């Protein structure tokens, strides 16, 4: 892949992180590593641009660390997609989580940044979607603090379209982090 300027994606990620932190602070929400660890959730990611950015971070790791991650990613994929399964949630740890920390934190995709808080989403022409937040047990009785994911999704969609146009890509990927790392080509 030819070098790509990820600066607008990085700016978008910064806006996401800032909005998330503002709302999390108002809830006094602190992720303390609950049993519902989001890094063990089966998430699929759907943009080429986020894959390319994650892979860029991965390729900067030292060779030994990269090989460790590849080994974990292979194990993850073998179990999650065994027997031709489309993907089953086995609560396996993401291959990028080492001792409770994401080792590609600055490169992590959108859903890793937005997960956890109660939120709303307004897809054009469809009903509003509301999410209750993660199972950390910190939101149950608290009044909802508005956290609208829509502008972030729309902005990411625009960045993705630009990326696809520039690389003559079509379609929409459906990939776990492990799959992205094992097949880094865009």
46 within 8 A of 161, measured Cβ to Cβ: no
Q: Quick one: DSSP state of residue 82?
A: G
104 three-class SS: coil
Question: Residue 120, SS3?
Answer: strand
Tokens coding 60: 């900067």
**136 lies in the site for ligand SF4, by CB under 6 A:** no
- Counting contacts by CB under 6 A, is residue 112 touching ligand SF4? yes
Judged by CB under 6 A, the stretch of 7-15, 21-29, 45-53, 100-108 that binds ligand SF4 is 100-108
Identify the residue among 12, 19, 94, 117 touching ligand SF4 (CB under 6 A): 94
Burial-class residue 90 by CB neighbours within 10 Å (0-12, 13-18, 19+): exposed
* Pattern 28-67, ligand SF4, x by CB under 6 A: -----------x----------------------------
Does 92 participate in binding ligand SF4 (rule CB under 6 A)? no
Report the Cα–Cα distance between both ends of the chain, in Å, rounded. 7
**How near is the Cβ of 5 to ligand SF4 at its closest, in Å?**
22
User: Applying CB under 6 A, which residues contact ligand SF4?
Assistant: 39, 94, 96-97, 102, 104, 108, 112, 177
């Amino acid at each position: 892949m030819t070098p790509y300027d990820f600066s607008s994606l990085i700016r978008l990620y910064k806006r996401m992180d800032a909005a998330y932190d503002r709302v999390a602070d108002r809830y006094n929400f602190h992720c303390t590593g609950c049993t519902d660890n989001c890094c063990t959730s089966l998430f699929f990611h759907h943009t080429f641009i986020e894959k390319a950015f994650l892979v860029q971070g991965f390729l900067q790791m030292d060779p030994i660390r990269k090989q460790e991650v590849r080994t974990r990613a292979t194990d993850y994929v073998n179990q999650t997609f065994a027997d031709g399964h489309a993907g089953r949630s086995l609560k396996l740890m993401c291959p990028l989580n080492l001792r409770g920390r994401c080792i590609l934190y600055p490169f992590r995709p959108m859903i890793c940044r937005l997960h956890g808080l109660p939120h709303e989403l307004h897809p054009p022409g469809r009903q509003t979607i509301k999410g209750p937040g993660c199972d950390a047990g910190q939101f149950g009785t608290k009044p909802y603090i508005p956290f609208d994911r829509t502008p972030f999704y729309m902005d990411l969609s625009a960045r993705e379209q630009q990326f696809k146009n520039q690389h003559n890509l079509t379609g929409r990927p459906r990939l776990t982090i492990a799959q992205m790392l094992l097949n880094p080509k865009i």
